A = this chain, B = another copy of it.
Amino acid sequence: VKAADGSPRPGVVAAVAMLRARGERVTRAREAVLDVLDGVSEHLTADEIVLRAAARAPGVHRATVYRALATLRDLDVVAHTHVGGSAAVYHLSLPGASDERSGPHAHLQCTTCGVVLDLPAAELQPLAARLRGALGFRLEPAHAALLGTCAACAATGTGGG
């Protein structure tokens, strides 16, 4: 199964190869999820993935997407990030995927408008090193979004102060 307009996506090819190498089955639902994730530059919630996967593989069930995501997460093919108190967002974590930045990245979320911004992992490395040295705590920079107010919302909200 490939992209609707023809050629298979490189990230899907790589992920499928990894699935086979690990002895995991390559199913329509898993391919659909991979194709969706490889086709976007932003981060998608499980529900958004369900909607987009259904467009290219009708009948794929919500629960199946959750299970596929869990499997792919265990294989380190996809990563998820907890944002605020709402739905987790998912993205490919395979090197070479269409949406992969150069190296891991952390996330910032605006508590006002909800936008999720990417942050190079390098920004968190000094902190990660301190935490590991002082507390033995091994930080996973991409696993939870940092919350705050983005520039646009801060400007709007300030008004006079």
Contact = CB atoms under 8 A, between A and B. Distances in A.
- Copies, count: 2
Contacts of A85: 82, 88
Interface stretch (A9-17, A61-69, A96-104, A121-129): A121-129
Interface of A is mostly: mixed
A144 interface: yes
Interface residues of A, number: 33
B138 A154 contact: yes
A131 interface: yes
10 contacts: A82-B147, A124-B127, A126-B126, A126-B127, A135-B151, A136-B151, A136-B155, A139-B147, A143-B147, A144-B146
- Nearest 7 CB-CB pairs, A to B? A136-B151, A143-B147, A139-B148, A138-B149, A144-B147, A140-B148, A138-B148
